[in-house]
Chain A
Amino acid sequence: MPTIVVEVMPKAELLDPQGKAVAGALARLGQKQLTDVRIGKRFEVTVEGEVTDAVLADVQRLADEMFSNSVIEDVVSITVADSADAPAAV
């Protein structure tokens, strides 16, 4: 069954406390070149049947209204992945 992958990231200008905590751990491990980490979310949505334009439009709307909160996050990508294939940009 096809999967639609939605990726959401905290807005660039906002403090990402999770990423900051991981970046702190990297620094403690002596990683000098890895200076910053930001953590986002990846949604893998399974679709029954074909991924039509209508299904994609639905996912786009849900990505904007439910998967992300536009006050604090951006939807950075929506791609269709088939279980057999690598993700393809749409």
Chain B
Amino acid sequence: MRVGVVTFPGSLDDRDAQRAVRLAGGEPVALWHGDHDLQGVDAIILPGGFSYGDYLRAGAIASFSPIMTEVVDAANKGVPVLGICNGFQMLAEARLIPGAHTRNAHQQFIRRDQRLRVENARTDWTNGFTEGQEITIPLKNADGRFIADAETIRRIEGEGQVAFRYLGVNPNGSMDDIAGVTNERGNVVGLMPHPEHATEPGFGPDTPEAMSSGIDGLTFFTSVIERALAR
């Protein structure tokens, strides 16, 4: 399975996302923000970073990039799209998922190994988890506060579009402790924590068993690959 990772000016974790795809058994394909070409990939990742220095609003300028026309078309046709951190902000700015992001309520950049609860294990990117499963994924952001109007919150809670919820600590003041959301169809998923940083033993978050051994993030990438193979 070929999984495209789009590099924007200011992307930081595009190579990490490519590596995660490789570790999960997929073939990563580097895509460029200035192209109108998805190179026929089967799934797309919008990686983390600070595209365009977070100017205007985080993810806003990137969401007007040439390649986003093709990404939005593909997403609407059912191609799996994962937005990680800055990619999550781009998905919101492109209106592929509901809601928006603002500066963390406490005004600080925050980095921590974050416990999450998987709320929706039916999406293209989460089907390898079980509903209610608790996982630990590194988080690092300054504009991670997920917000939406009351009606939207009611709707996405009711429709099961909340994919992940923060456990223990709400690191940025997100409404309803929402860490990640999906679109109605379940092919587009966005979240603030970085699953690509928890895919290889020795380089992930600490676990009770061993230091840096957490690989809960790998399931995002194996989920999308295995579902594609089963089709």
User: Which of A's residues lie within 8 Å of B, judged by CB?
Assistant: 10, 14-15, 17-18, 21, 66-67, 69, 71-72
Q: A14-B147, A21-B107 are in contact. Are A72 and B102 (CB under 8 A)?
A: yes
Between A and B, 13 residue pairs with Cβ closer than 8 Å are A10-B102, A14-B102, A17-B104, A18-B107, A66-B56, A67-B56, A69-B57, A69-B60, A69-B93, A71-B92, A71-B148, A72-B100, A72-B102
- Having A17-B104, A17-B105, one finds 15 other A-B pairs with CB under 8 Å, namely A15-B102, A15-B173, A17-B102, A17-B106, A17-B107, A18-B107, A66-B56, A69-B57, A69-B60, A69-B93, A71-B92, A71-B100, A71-B148, A71-B149, A72-B147
Q: Which of A15, A67, A71 has the most CB of B within 10 A?
A: A71
B64 near A: Cβ within 8 Å? Answer: yes
Q: In the bound complex, how far is the Cα of B57 from the Cα of A66, in angstroms?
A: 10
User: Which of B's residues lie within 8 Å of A, judged by CB?
Assistant: 56-57, 60, 64, 92-93, 99-100, 102-107, 147-149, 173
Q: In the bound complex, how far is the Cα of B100 from the Cα of A87, in angstroms?
A: 32
Interface of B is mostly: loop
Contact: B103 with A18, CB < 8 Å? yes
Interface of A is mostly: mixed
CB distance from A42 to the nearest CB of B (A): 13
- B106's closest neighbor in chain A, by CB? A17
CB distance from A28 to the nearest CB of B (A): 15
Q: Specify which chain A residues have a CB less than 8 angstroms from the CB of B149 in the assembled complex.
A: 71
Q: In the bound complex, how far is the Cα of B39 from the Cα of A9, in angstroms?
A: 40
Contact: A71 with B107, CB < 8 Å? no
Q: In the bound complex, how far is the Cα of B147 from the Cα of A71, in angstroms?
A: 8
Q: Which of A14, A21, A72 has the most CB of B within 10 A?
A: A72
CB distance from B37 to the nearest CB of A (A): 24
- B64's closest neighbor in chain A, by CB? A66
Q: In the bound complex, how far is the Cα of B100 from the Cα of A33, in angstroms?
A: 33
- A68's closest neighbor in chain B, by CB? B57
Q: Give the top 4 A-B pairs by smallest Cβ distance, nearest first.
A: A71-B100, A72-B100, A17-B103, A17-B107
Q: In the bound complex, how far is the Cα of B175 from the Cα of A71, in angstroms?
A: 14
Q: Specify which chain B residues have a CB less than 8 angstroms from the CB of A69 in the assembled complex.
A: 57, 60, 93, 100
